[in-house]
Structure 1
Amino acid sequence: MQLFLILLSLLSSHITKVTGWAGCTRDRDRDYRTRENCTALGFSNVPAGFDPTTKVMLFTNNLFSSLSWSSFQIFTAIYEIDLSGNKIPQVTSSVTPILPTLSVLRLGSNRLTSLSDGSFTACPALTELYLDNNVLDSLSDHTFSGLSKLEILDLSSNRIKVLPKLMLHPLPAIETLSLESNKIMVMPDDWFSKKEEVPYLFLSANPWACSCPLGYLRRYLDNYEFNVYTREGPIIQSDPESLVCDSPQWLKDKPVVTLEESDLCSPAPEPNPAGDSDKQTVHTDTVAPAVPDTTPLIPTTFPPVPATTSSFPTTVPTSTAAVPLNGSHTLAPHPTVRPSTEMTGTICAIRCGGVFCFWLCAGCLLLCVASVAFILVILVWLVGWCKRDYNLPNEAVARRGGGGKVVMLSTYSRREEKEGHEEE
């Protein structure tokens, strides 16, 4: 029986550690800080009865319609407050640091429309501030004054149109800045001057106006483009091309990082006037000469001109006469023109190329004839050489095998010749 009572007391003490006040769950976060989790319990303010040593208070998805710093003042070592998913429309600034130990404040998915100067002076030790998914449309240079330790600022998914020029000056320790999914068109010059490198920047899904005023952001990306990130759920990846132009139309959807400053400041291309395709126009020095000319004539067509062009006579500088144009800006039938300088140069190049090809073919022909003649000479020489080499062995054989007959025939012929002389 005594053992049963001991077990019952241990079990009851365990239950008191797990279950907090009015349904809130008491546990510890990953850093072993004491935590009260009061998610979705319908609270509109902080109820009494919590342990003053609690460091993390979670009031996510409740009914808070205002933020009272003093209601959390009883927690002397408070580290994190989560009021995401409530109905808080504004944050009241404080003259004194009411929560000097607060490090993380989550106010995402509320109804915040604006933030006054020094809105968070009540908690000067903030290192993380989450203001995402509100309806903030404006900020000021001093909205975040006093937050010299702030490292993470999330302003994503709001309606911010203009970035205050000095907004980052009170934030020398900023490491992560999220401005994605707003309505920002331009970044002020030297906006990062107090903290030139912010390691994690989220700037996508804004209607960036790619004109001259965006030159500062373009130059900034040259040095820190790999600090630009995007995120899809829990996945975060570097993506400098996520910053794309929304205007002007001819640069729409172009990544800002791929543009040159000359592209940002280039004038708008002029559209073609409507209806001009049905008209014809002429340029000076394009009508046929009135006197004979030996230069080849080439037919041409004439591009359209605006309807306001008046009728006027057009002359060829080298001619003594001109062919006037009628009021409808059309030429007489079968118009011919003197070739332009470029056309003349093209014709000359073609002629020169033909001459070169002719002499090249003639040279090749002469080379072939010379080659054939040389081959014939070689063949004649080879035939003579073969005959000579064939006869020499025959004479040698004759000398060796029939030498006696040759001597006898020569002796006989000499004797007959001698007898013939004696008879005479």
Structure 2
Amino acid sequence: MRCVSWLLLGTCLLVLGPAVQGAPGQCPSLCHCHGDLQHVICDNVGLKKIPRVSEVTRLLNLQRNNLGSIPTGAFGESKGLISLHMQHCQLREIGSQAFKGLKKLIYLYLSNNEINSIKPGAFEDLTELTYLYLDGNQISDLAKGIFSPMINLFILQLNDNKLRELRPGTFAGASDLRWLHMSGNELTTLQPGSLDDVENLAILHLERNKLSTYPIVAMSKLRVVEELTLGKNPMRTIPDFAFQSFGRYMEKLYLDNMGLEKFSDGAFTGVTAVKSLHLDNNRLKFLPKSLEFGTLTNLTLSSNPWSCTCQLAPLRRWMDSSRNRPDAVCASPPQQKGKQVRDSAAFSGCKVKSKRAKKGTRH
């Protein structure tokens, strides 16, 4: 709750009273200061270097200045900072010890820069950091242990970079990480062990990458994933037991726009809590036997060539008993082509197989 409290405090202080201009030793030139220097706002004021601010400063906003780099020791006198905003600053590199001394920092915003290199030790001293935003940069590689000082890291934003692979040890030390966003990169593989250090992830976003096979070994150590997005990756199949390690927690699964052709029958083994499943814009004809419909409240199926045979009968029965009757058009057999699954008569003769029948009758 402390993070939310600081965010609210920052919002409140920003609207209190007129901006105060001060001498360089107080409020930096060109900047606006609030709350007795607790908030220093230098947004889009033409700065070429990072200004020195008082130890009492809690929030420093440097957005939209052409800073280029972060020299070592740039924040040596800013040890009280809790929130640092450096979006759109044309930063190209994060050097070693760039944030040295910021042991109280909780929020670090580095989005929408040109960062292509993060040197070893760049995040030294950031032991309290909870939110790190690196989205919209040019990062293609992450060194082993680069996040290791961040023992309190909760959210990591790496969307829209140029990451090509994840290797073991990338997230070493960041064991409290819960939200990991890596959409819009160039990931072709997640190496086995690459997610072992963050087994408590609750949200994992991987859409808009280049994953052609489901990274089942890398995902097998994850335990409590609640939301997984894989849309717009060129995967053709989802294997057996794909989600088993976290299936009893997973509530939202996005597998849309992938060119997905089939699920192995056991793909959804262990998935017992899914509420929202998105399968639209693929090449699916059937759904796997392991998919249970009981908990589903939101299902998208449009733009798939569904085969309206008895294999889809469980879907039709769910539609008949649910308020959710998603758009799903039959592509085969020929007499059903063009009809909605929910309206097709193809399932009238399909028998319901009881669990008891599958197991055999005891005497």
With normalisation by structure 1, the TM-score equals: 0.50
Looking at CA atoms only, which structure, 1 or 2, has the larger radius of gyration? 1
Matched, 1:174 2:250: yes
| In structure 1, C-alpha distance between the alignment counterparts of 2:154 and 2:219, rounded to whole Å | 19
User: What is residue 112 of structure 2 aligned with on the other side?
Assistant: 40
CA-based RMSD: 3.8
Aligned pair partner of 2:326 in 241, 252, 271: 241
Cα gap change, 1:76 to 1:220, in 2 (>3 Å)? closer
Q: Residue deviations 1:157-190, cap 9 Å, x none?
A: 2111100111111113211111111122222224
User: Structure 2: which 5+ runs fail to align?
Assistant: 1-21, 41-52, 54-58, 71-82, 86-104, 303-322, 351-363
User: What amino acid is the match of 2:178?
Assistant: S
Find the aligned partners of 2:182 and 2:257 in 1 and give their Cα distance. Answer: 17
Q: Deviations over 1:7-40 (max 9, x none)?
A: 936945532422369589726xxxxx93211111
Q: 2:289 aligns with which of 197, 202, 216?
A: 216
Supply the distance in 2 between the matched residues of 1:225 and 1:257 (Cα, whole angstroms).
16
In 1, the alpha carbon distance for the partners of 2:205 and 2:24 equals: 46
Q: Spell out the pairing of 1:160-199 with structure 2 (5 A cutoff).
A: 160-171=235-246, 172-199=248-275
- Counterpart of 1:76 (choices 134, 140, 151) is 151
Q: Distance in 2 between matches of 1:71 and 1:183?
A: 35
Q: In 2, distance between residues paired with 1:72 and 1:190?
A: 36
Give 2:224's match in structure 1, choosing from 138, 149, 168: 149
Q: 1:203-352 to 2 correspondence within 5 Å?
A: 203-210=279-286, 214=287, 216=289, 220-221=292-293, 223=294, 226-229=297-300, 240-245=325-330, 254-256=339-341, 260=346
Identify if the C-alpha distance between structure 1 residues 144 and 262 changes in structure 2 by more than 3 Å, giving closer, same or farther: farther
- Cα deviation per residue 1:74-113 (whole Å; 9 max; x = unaligned)? 2221111111111111111349953211111110000112
Give aligned-pair identity as a percent.
20
Aligned partner letter, 1:87: K
In 1, the alpha carbon distance for the partners of 2:165 and 2:349 equals: 42
Q: How many residues align?
A: 247
CA spacing shift, 1:14–1:131, aligned 2, 3 Å: same
* Cα-to-partner distance string for 1:204-262 (whole Å, 9 max, x where unaligned): 1111125xxx4637x845x455341589xxxxxx8542444556666555545555568
Counterpart in the other structure of 2:12: none
Q: Distance in 2 between matches of 1:245 and 1:69?
A: 49
Q: For residue 117 of structure 1, give the secondary structure of its aligned residue in structure 2.
A: coil
Separation in structure 2 between the aligned mates of residue 149 and residue 225 of structure 1, nearest angstrom: 19
Give the secondary-structure state (helix, strand or coil) at the position aligned to 2:146.
Answer: helix
| Greater Cα offset, 81-90 or 11-20 | 11-20
- Work out whether 1:8 is the aligned partner of 2:9: no
Equivalent position to 1:63, from 138, 141, 145 = 138
- What is aligned with 1:352? none
Gap runs ≥5 in structure 1: 28-32, 232-237, 265-424
- Judged with a 3 Å threshold, the aligned counterparts in structure 2 of structure 1 residues 9 and 197 are, in CA distance, closer, same or farther, namely closer
TM-score relative to the length of structure 2: 0.57
Q: Distance in 2 between matches of 1:143 and 1:254?
A: 40
